Amino acid sequence: MKLSAAIREFVDYSQALGKLYRSESYQLKAFLRQAGDIELHYLSPGQVEKYLRGKGGPVTTTWLSKFTTLKSLFHYAISRGYMQKSLLPKSVPKMPAKFVPYLYSIEEIRRLVGISDFCYRPMAILSPPTLRALILLLYGTGLRLGETTKLTLREVDLTEGLLTIHQTKFFKSRLVPVGPDLLHVLRLYSDRHWSGNARTPDSSFFCTRKGTPMTADHAHHMFQWLRREAGILRFDGGRYQPRLHDLRHTFAVTRLVTWYREGKDVQRLLPHLSTYLGHIHIGSTAHYLTMTKELLHEASCCFERYALPETHNG
């Protein structure tokens, strides 16, 4: 079997299992371009190593991501008799330190949304109200940035306070309720942005100053400027400076700490958090639950409340 056919069959199989497999598909297409559409039995370890190495330089998580994708492809091909053995290197190089997300404090969120309009460049692609509404929506709901850029007016119910998220990661759709304070922010943004402007139900909710749909690149670029303007930096050796996606991590951890403080049954509520975030299983949600000192303290207090009565009974 040729490499292109094996990749196509493998991607179809993976997506049939409910995986989006978008980035992995791009990786496999890149491997195909480099190796050529040859018969699988003509593939060599050298071709695999060349693809993994890329342009050279230090080993990064990209290397590991490509390695994992090829490992899955080869496992699939071997299980169906298309290949005799894996061509991956026997030893895996030491990976960079585990990525640690940045968790924003409430004070930092206030600084981000409190930057004066006069600090924004007049020709900046996003207006101050747009960027503020976006940050507060991500902080208050934990949505993925890609989900917010796809929101249309039809999908933002400002009467009921309900967002409809259609066919995003893992092909899942869901309803996301928003609280009264955030709903008020979204209404103010909508009134200001859309007042007097032509719109249809399919118009993008978040738009640029020119009225075109906001993209992830627009948001990332503007946020990095705003973050520096607000003086929000990390000095803990983290691989990246604070990002928009870290607001999703912040939402998940904050939600967990709040439940602990309220004495809620966190284990019972975790599946609800997973569904709210658009995950298929709790394991994906665990990726966002960085164990902060605050979270560890609340969890310890919860355990003590559970354990101490039994100690006293003994």
Question: Using one digit for the tens of pLDDT, what is the confidence trace for 243-255?
Answer: 999 999 898 888 8
The answer to whether 141 and 181 have CB atoms below 8 angstroms apart is no
Residues 251-268 have a mean pLDDT of: 82
Is 227 labeled as catalytic in the residue annotation? Answer: no
Active-site hit among 150, 169, 172, 221: 169
pTM for the whole thing? 0.65
CA 66, CA 147: separation in Å to the nearest integer? Answer: 25
pLDDT above 60 (res 170) = no
pLDDT for 56-109, tens place per residue? 766 777 888 899 999 999 999 999 999 999 999 988 877 666 778 888 999 999
Is 248 labeled as catalytic in the residue annotation? Answer: yes
Tell me how far the alpha carbon of residue 9 is from its chain's centroid. 27
Active-site hit among 66, 132, 144, 255: 144
Outline where the chain has alpha helix (H): 3-16, 22-35, 45-53, 61-79, 106-114, 128-141, 145-149, 180-194, 216-229, 246-261, 266-277, 282-286, 293-313
Q: Max Cα separation, the chain? A: 72
